[in-house]
């Protein structure tokens, strides 16, 4: 096995005296793990940072063997890790991607969405500019792994208009008329999730509360539970930023 591919660094774990096992999100080969020699040296340390775009050459004698990796930097997002909110966002989405995806299965839509989300975090002057993209990425990840929400029509009436809430149990949308008797028991469904476009701070926080409920219930469980702290920390920082806006 040998191939060269664009990739996004999503995780790094020290291995041996100088090397590390690096996890990469790739467009055609999904999540890939590789041993990189000298990963903790001065030359590669700034390259192997979560969120960085790289070109990776992976090779192994058999598919069951851990690949050896050669990594070259394409675009660094290291400066973002000096800023609290972008750093918290990158920490979360990289950890989530590296933890919940099975290795070796291609998810081209997820790769493109992750690349777009990282670009939005880099380009936006404030978190309100990339919050909606984060919600969409989390919704897509849930869907790609078989836990997608059903937001096409009301779970009770079958109507496809005035959808304002989601059942925390079934993940199905509920219309305004049907949601009224269950006020306080349903999760708000912000308009941008269905209609697209931009979102204001209240809508972003509602969207993150929505995706967070299902991520922490269905995906971030058991051995992956420790990364939930990153999600909780990010949500609190975003809520604080919203209060200061």
Tally of domains in the chain: 2
pLDDT in tens, 192-229: 999 999 899 999 999 999 999 999 999 998 878 889 99
Q: What is the mean pLDDT of residues 172-183?
A: 93
pLDDT in tens, 40-74: 888 999 999 999 999 999 999 887 789 999 999 99
Average pLDDT of the chain, as a whole number: 95
**In the chain, helix, strand, coil percent, each to 5?**
45, 25, 30
* Statement to judge: residues 67 and 103 lie in one domain: no
* Statement to judge: residues 49 and 91 lie in one domain: no
pLDDT at 1 over 90: no
**177 inside domain:** no
Residue 62: its pLDDT value, please? 84
Q: What is the mean pLDDT of residues 76-87?
A: 94
Contact present, 234 and 92 (Cβ < 8 Å): yes
Q: Identify the domain containing residue 71 by its residue range.
A: 1-76
**Three-state SS at 241:** helix
DSSP 103: B
**235 inside domain:** yes
**Three-state SS at 56:** strand
Of 19, 44, 76, the one marking the end of a domain is: 76
* Statement to judge: residues 104 and 196 lie in one domain: yes
* Statement to judge: residues 146 and 31 lie in one domain: no
Residue 21: its pLDDT value, please? 96
Strand duo 67-75 + 30-36: pairing: parallel
């Amino acid at each position: 096995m040998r191939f060269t591919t664009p990739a996004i660094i999503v995780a790094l774990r020290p291995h041996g005296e100088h090397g590390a096992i690096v996890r990469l999100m790739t467009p055609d080969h999904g999540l890939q793990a590789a041993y990189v020699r000298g990963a903790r040296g001065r030359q590669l340390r700034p390259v192997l940072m979560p969120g960085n775009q790289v070109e990776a050459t992976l090779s192994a004698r058999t598919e069951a063997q851990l690949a050896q990796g050669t990594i070259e930097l394409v675009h660094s997002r290291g400066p973002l890790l000096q800023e609290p909110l972008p750093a918290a966002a990158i920490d979360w989405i990289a950890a989530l991607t590296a933890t919940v995806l099975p290795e070796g299965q291609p998810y081209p839509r997820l790769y493109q969405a992750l690349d777009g989300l990282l670009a939005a975090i880099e380009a936006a002057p404030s978190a309100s500019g990339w919050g909606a993209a984060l919600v969409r990425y989390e919704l897509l990840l849930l869907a790609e792994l078989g836990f997608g929400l059903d937001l096409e029509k009301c779970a009770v009436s079958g109507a496809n208009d005035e959808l304002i809430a989601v059942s925390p149990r079934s993940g199905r949308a509920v219309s305004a008329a049907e949601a009224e008797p269950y006020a306080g028991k349903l999760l708000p469904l912000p308009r941008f999730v269905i209609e697209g476009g931009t979102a204001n701070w209240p809508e972003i926080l509602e969207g993150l509360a929505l995706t967070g409920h299902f991520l922490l219930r269905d995906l971030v469980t058991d051995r992956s539970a420790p990364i939930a702290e990153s999600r909780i920390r990010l949500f609190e920082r975003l809520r604080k930023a919203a209060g200061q806006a």
